[in-house]
């Protein structure tokens, strides 16, 4: 060669949009493309961005292969850079074109480091070292650095995972995926949004269930809308007093994925006291008889996709009708910091249906949810009040059941709201929303 390296700039067009958004497929393909060309792979680092797009690089002993994809255009920009003459980057080009199902590709090769323009300088390597040399890694060892990123307008959550996707299926409602993350264990995502992880799911599920059950201790019949991961019914079924627990989940793939890969969460699906229905929760509520349930928990995803209809005044009015005279509705009510506009709007809706003094907000810390602070609503049809509960009974229950988050002190403290949350709930002004929301508002 008359140059130090060969650099091919590649553009792939008309690629499979699905493959261009699949970080696992892209990482595997890029590593395989390097190895097929005879390169020695050292490290791979890849990120998937929500809702779509993948960036990554494979570091090889002979230089690197890099990529960024635009699934919405079926397009990928790829750099193939190899040093010396032992690796042919065109082999990698051909491999990737097939792997990405590209309609066509364009490319340009550059020779990097023209030898006739360079002057070699000999130097003593030992004199340049100010630290001891790293131990030699075992031949064939590859460090994989693959990341899932849930990204919104202004904030993002990135979690490193093994690169081996445990579950990926498309239902008529959403894409259901499970990743094995290094920090939080197996993680369920729906349409690229984090739903729960093995290491922090207990926060959400304990707080959405034990607060109402300890406050409304006479409840006999409970209904859960959503919650296909099984965590909410797992917690409810700890209470022998409940004669009936009904779970209505629209997407059977969520149940399947969690049974397979989040078994600690999905542990109660075979419980004889559970009535599991795979159907539309909105339809179920509309057809439900008046005053049937003492407790209704709306364990919904965010207000997009199949969860959108669970965030309407019409739906909450139907829930109110289905409650007993002293019944309670619990919902996950989004983050006051992440999307302040939605937070304000849904609490205003609850108060119009249940009454100004019958709706209570409480908070919990959930690390893998946007901003880490999440809210729940306690809306009472009768006289039930979440701060009127038997503290000693709650303490005994928490200890006996080995709960990881909920206890009698957390129960009371969760209703102590920061001033900015009080301001949002009291005024709901556009100025307050713009001041506290981490996301752009409709007015911006």
Q: Which residues are annotated as a binding site for S-methyl-5'-thioadenosine?
A: 174, 249, 280-281, 306
Q: Which residues are annotated as a binding site for spermidine?
A: 205, 229, 299-302
Identify the active-site residue in 299, 361, 398, 437: 299
- Tokens encoding 22: 């699949």
27: buried, middle or exposed (CB in 10 Å: 19+, 13-18, 0-12)? buried
Q: Is 299 a catalytic residue?
A: yes
Quick check: 159 and 147 in contact, CB under 8 A? yes
Closest residue by Cα to residue 332 from 246, 438, 433, 225:
225
For this structure, is 68 an active site residue? yes
Pick the closest to residue 85 from 111, 105, 107 (CA basis): 111
Over its C-alpha atoms, the chain yields an Rg (Å, rounded) of 27
The reply to whether 217 belongs to the active site is: no
Annotated active-site residue in 15, 47, 50, 83: 83
Annotated binding site, which residues? 174, 205, 229, 249, 280-281, 299-302, 306
CA distances from 321 to 262, 283, 318, 388, 429 (A): 34, 14, 5, 24, 30
List phi, psi (to 5°) of 409.
-75, -40
Element (H, E) at 234: helix 231-236
- Of the candidates 29, 44, 63, 379, the residue annotated as catalytic is 63
Choosing from 14, 16, 68, 94, which is the catalytic residue?
68
Assigned token pair, 170: 């498309």
Give the DSSP H or E segment for 45.
strand 41-48
CA distance 353 to 376: 17
Cβ contact 222:232 at 8 Å: no
210 catalytic per annotation: no
Length of the chain: 444
Indicate which residues carry an active-site annotation: 63, 68, 83, 299
């Amino acid at each position: 060669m008359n140059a130090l390296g060969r650099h091919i700039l590649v553009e792939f067009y008309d690629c499979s949009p699905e493959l261009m958004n699949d970080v696992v497929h892209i990482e595997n393909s890029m590593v395989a493309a390097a190895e097929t060309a005879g390169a020695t792979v050292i490290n791979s680092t890849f990120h998937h961005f929500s809702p779509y797009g993948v960036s990554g690089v494979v570091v090889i002993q002979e230089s690197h292969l890099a990529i960024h994809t635009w699934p919405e255009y079926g397009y990928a920009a790829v750099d193939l850079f190899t040093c010396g003459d032992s690796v042919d980057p065109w082999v990698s080009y051909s491999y990737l074109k097939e792997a990405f199902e590209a309609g066509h590709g364009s490319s340009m090769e550059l020779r990097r480091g023209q030898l006739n323009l360079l002057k070699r300088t000999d130097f003593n390597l030992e004199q340049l070292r100010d630290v001891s040399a790293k131990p030699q890694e075992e031949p064939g060892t590859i460090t994989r650095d693959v990341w899932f990123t849930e990204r919104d307008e202004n904030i993002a959550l990135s979690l490193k995972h093994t690169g081996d996707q445990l579950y990926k299926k498309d239902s008529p409602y959403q894409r259901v995926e499970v990743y094995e993350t290094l920090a939080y264990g197996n993680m369920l995502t729906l349409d690229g949004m984090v739903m729960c992880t093995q290491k922090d799911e207990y926060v959400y599920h304990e707080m959405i269930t034990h607060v109402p059950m300890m406050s409304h201790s006479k409840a006999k019949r409970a209904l859960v809308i959503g919650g296909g991961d099984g965590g909410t019914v797992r917690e409810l079924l700890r209470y022998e007093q409940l004669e009936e627990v009904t779970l209505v989940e629209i997407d059977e793939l969520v149940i399947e994925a969690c049974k397979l890969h989040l078994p600690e969460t999905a542990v109660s699906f075979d419980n004889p006291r559970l009535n599991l229905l795979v159907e539309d929760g909105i339809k179920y509520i509309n057809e439900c008889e008046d005053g049937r349930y003492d407790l209704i928990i709306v364990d919904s995803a965010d207000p997009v996709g199949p969860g959108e209809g669970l965030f309407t005044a019409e739906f909450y009015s139907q829930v109110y009708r289905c409650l007993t005279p002293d019944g309670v509705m619990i919902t996950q009510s989004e983050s006051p910091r992440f999307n302040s506009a939605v937070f304000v709007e849904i609490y205003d809706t609850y108060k119009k249906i249940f009454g100004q003094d019958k709706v209570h907000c409480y908070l919990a810390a959930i690390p893998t949810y946007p901003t880490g602070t999440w809210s729940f609503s306690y809306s009472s049809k009768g006289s039930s009040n979440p701060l009127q509960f038997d503290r000693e009974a709650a303490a005994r229950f928490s200890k006996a059941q080995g709960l990881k988050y909920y206890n009698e002190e957390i129960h009371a403290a969760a209703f102590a709201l920061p001033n900015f949350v009080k301001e949002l709930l009291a005024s709901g002004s556009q100025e307050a929303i713009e001041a506290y929301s981490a996301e752009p508002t409709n007015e911006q």
